[in-house]
Amino acid sequence: MLTLYSYPGLFGLPDNNGYGLKVFAFLRLCNLPFRHEHLFDASAAPRGQLPYITDDGETTGDSDTIIAFLTRKYHLSLDAGLTAAQLDTSHLITRMLDNLYWVMSYSRWKDERYWPKFRAALLSQHPRLDEAGLVKAREFNLQRYYFQGIGRYGPGDAFTRGLADLQVLANLLPADGYLHGSKPASIDAGIYGFIANIYFYDIDTPLKQFVAAHQNLVHHCEAIHAQVFP
C-alpha cells in the first residue's frame, strides 16, 4: 500500500513540516488511500530529507517529485484543467514557498523569542524526544541556516523576507475559492502545507500575525483544512 513517511505532527496538524503536509493534503484532495508513518530521523530517507513515499516497492522523495509521480501513475486529475500560464504561476509560487520554508524554520529553531515555545511544544507532544536530542537538532539546523544564507540574517531581516512572500500570496489568492478557480489544484495543497503550519501554530510570530490579518489567506487555509480533515 502507498505509504507516506514524514515528520510528526504538532498543534493538531499531521505534519509540522510544510512539505510533508503538502503531500498529505494532496493525497487527501485526490482521495488516494495511503498509510502515514511519522519519523523523527530523516537520515535514511532519500537525500536525507522528508517526506518520501513507498509504493509497490518503489521509493520516491521530494514533495514535487512525489506529486508528479503519483499524478502519472494514478492518472490524477487535480491539475488537468489548468492552462499553461496557470501551471507557470503554480511553479513560481512553489519556488517562492521554498524561500518561505527557511524563514518558517528559522522562526522555530533559531529565533530566541520563539525557540523556547517550539521546544516546549515538541517535548510536551512527543514524549520520545528529549532535551539533549533537540539541542543536537538545533545545532544541526543552525549550521544549515548559515550555509543556506538565512542564518546570516538577524530576525528582523529574516522575517522581512518571509513577509514579502506572504504578501505575494495575499495579493494572488482570491477572497473565495482557490488560486486558480472554484476547485483546488495541487498548488493549493502546497500553499496549505505552509500556511497551515503558520496559522494553526500556537506561537505568535510575525508570520502568524500577517496570516491572521489577511482573511483570504485564512479562508484558503481553512477551506483546504476542511477538505483534508472532513
Rg of the chain taking only CA atoms, in angstroms: 17
Element (H, E) at 191: helix 186-199
Using an 8 Å Cβ cutoff, are 190 and 94 in contact? yes
How much is the pLDDT for 43? 86
81, three cell numbers: 484543467
Quickly count helices (H) and strands (E) in the chain: 9, 4
> What's the mean pLDDT in 25-51?
94
Using an 8 Å Cβ cutoff, are 106 and 165 in contact? no
pLDDT band at 230; cut points 50, 70, 90: confident
With a CB cutoff of 8 Å and minimum separation 6, the contacts of 49 are 42, 61, 62
Let me know if the fold of 3-74 is the same as that of 84-228: no
End-to-end CA distance of the chain: 22
pLDDT band at 73; cut points 50, 70, 90: very high
pLDDT band at 23; cut points 50, 70, 90: very high
Rounded to 5°, angle at Cα 38 from 191 and 112: 65
Q: What is the CA 148 to chain-centroid distance, rounded?
A: 18
CATH topology of domain 3-74: Glutaredoxin (3.40.30)
CA–CA separation, 119 and 114 (whole Å)? 9
pTM more than 0.75: yes
Using an 8 Å Cβ cutoff, are 70 and 78 in contact? no
How much is the pLDDT for 41? 87
- What's the mean pLDDT when you consider all of the chain? 96
Digit-coded pLDDT (tens) for 111-164: 999 999 999 999 999 999 999 999 999 999 999 999 999 999 999 999 999 999
> What's the mean pLDDT in 5-34?
97
Using an 8 Å Cβ cutoff, are 212 and 205 in contact? no
C-alpha torsion angle, residues 27, 30, 33, 39 (rounded to 10): 0
Model confidence at 32: pLDDT above 80: yes
Just give the CATH number of 84-228.
Answer: 1.20.1050
Digit-coded pLDDT (tens) for 174-217: 999 999 999 999 999 999 999 999 999 999 999 999 999 999 99
Domain boundary assignment for the chain:
3-74, 84-228
HSE, CB side, 13 Å, CA atoms: give it for residue 205: 32
